[in-house]
Amino acid sequence: MTSLLKRSGPQFFGPLLQKLRSLGVDSDTELDAVLNRIKVRAGTRRGEDIVAPGRSPGHATVLMDGVACLYGRLHDGNRQIYAFQYSGDFCDLHQHVLPETNNEVAVAAITDCSIGIIEHKDLEQLIAQYPSLGLALWRASMLEASIFRKRLLNVGRQPALQRVAHLLCEQLARREAVGLNSATIPLTQMDLADAAGLSIVHINRTFQELRRLNILSKEGRAIKVVDRERLAGLASFDGNYLNMPQLLSHWQVKIESAPTPAEHRRPCHPPTSATRLCSKPVLQEAIGSCRQHR
């Protein structure tokens, strides 16, 4: 494709190309134009800000490699992670449309990251020349909003075990969407606690329970999922909100029977019958565990 792609290698731009194609940008000419406007910056080390709070830099930031998070902090220093970001993601599209500085929104590197930038003026020129690119970026923003809505629902209404299980399923699915098919998720318990709205003590107990159910295992600082089907069953994860039909077809889909009235009254039971990525025995074991902790 482009000279930039040839110089940097297809693996470096692969996730971004996959992301853009998943958003509806199919033309090599359009992809070529986007890549040629990207300026690759020096790497950002784990724990450093990629986009600092209160900054409006005048360019869009693309995560070329690594894991980052969109987050905010309260006055007491507590962090809330709004969303995790992976290779190929645009980190700060909101700053193009809403350029006013916001001290409650920033982007930090969870692992060592490589980033690229594209100036807002260049982005506007590309959108004017290729309207499908503008539609793709709109889709990316709507996908972020869909993830935020699901996160708010889970944090507000789901028990900790199901909340964390759903969050882990989401990370597996989003990573697979850009070709990262490993069962290891490069997040720490603290990262998950800040995303799920849990204390470090509560998240530790939740992980102990997931390991007891043989769903997770230790993998250094990272998290390894050893039984994805059971994790999806516990979370009642269907993933439709991610709008990735080509990916979700790879997840095993089974249909649950409707719960009995007695089961429906119990808050630890999953919702009424729907498409689920699980088997009923997995749910029954998780429900029994949940009752023991009530």
Residues 6+ apart with CB under 8 A from 48: 108, 109
**What is the DSSP code (8-state) at residue 25?**
-
Phi, psi for 8 (deg, rounded to 5) = -90, -20
Q: Same fold for the domain at 3-146 and the one at 158-292?
A: no
In this prediction, residue 245 carries a pLDDT of 63
Highest mean pLDDT among 150-154, 282-286, 289-293: 150-154
Check residue 87 and give its pLDDT. 93
CA distance 118 to 58: 9
When mean pLDDT is compared over 14-28, 53-67, 154-168, 237-251, the highest value belongs to 154-168
Whether the per-residue pLDDT at 227 is higher than 90: the answer is yes
If pLDDT is split at 50, 70 and 90, which confidence band does 42 have? confident
Q: Between β-strands 184-185 and 222-225, what pairing exists: parallel, antiparallel or unpaired?
A: antiparallel
CATH number of 158-292: 1.10.10.10
Which region among 145-159, 222-236, 254-268 has the lowest average model confidence (pLDDT)? 254-268
Neighbours of 80 (CB within 10 A): 14
Q: What is the mean pLDDT of residues 164-191?
A: 92
257-285 average pLDDT score: 42
Mean pLDDT of 280-289: 48
Give pLDDT, residue 58.
86
Q: Are 161 and 290 in contact (CB under 8 A)?
A: yes
Q: Say yes or no to pLDDT of 179 above 50.
A: yes
Q: What's the pLDDT score for residue 123?
A: 94
Closest CA to 253 of 226, 227, 268, 233: 233
Task: Report the pLDDT averaged over residues 223-234.
Answer: 95
Look at residue 281 and tell me whether its pLDDT is greater than 80: no
Q: What integer best gives the mean pLDDT of the chain?
A: 82
Nearest of 117, 113, 108, 114 to residue 90 by alpha carbon: 117
Place of tokens 């969050």: 167
Closest CA to 162 of 85, 253, 254, 271: 271
Mention every residue, 6+ apart, whose C-beta is less than 8 A from residue 45.
Answer: 109, 112
Instruction: List, in sequence order, the alpha helices (H) in the chain.
Output: 3-8, 10-22, 28-37, 94-97, 120-129, 131-157, 160-177, 189-196, 200-212, 228-235, 245-248, 261-265, 280-292
In the chain, the largest separation of any two C-alpha atoms, in whole Å, equals: 64
Domain 3-146 sits in CATH at 2.60.120.10
pLDDT at 221 over 60: yes
Cα separation, 41 vs 61, in Å, equals: 10
pLDDT in tens, 2-11: 444 444 455 6
Phi, psi dihedral angles at 218 (to 5 degrees):
-75, 140
pLDDT at 222: 86
Q: pLDDT-derived band of residue 254, with 50, 70 and 90 as boundaries?
A: very low
CA atoms within 13 A on the CB side of 197: 13
Residue 67's Cβ-count burial label (10 Å; 0-12, 13-18, 19+) is buried
Question: Averaged over 35-56, what is the pLDDT?
Answer: 90
Q: d(Cα 31, Cα 1) in Å, to the nearest integer?
A: 9
Nearest to 17 by CA among 48, 47, 38: 38
Average pLDDT score over residue span 280-292:
48
Looking at the predicted structure, is the pLDDT value of residue 54 above 90?
no
- Give domain limits for the chain: 3-146, 158-292
pLDDT confidence band for 55 (50 / 70 / 90) = confident
**pLDDT value of residue 13:** 87
Look-up of token digits 């800000």: 49
Between 281 and 127, name the one with better pLDDT.
Answer: 127
Check residue 228 and give its pLDDT. 93
pLDDT digit string, tens, across residues 56-109? 778 999 999 999 999 999 889 899 999 999 999 999 888 777 766 677 789 999
Q: Is the pLDDT of residue 253 over 50?
A: no
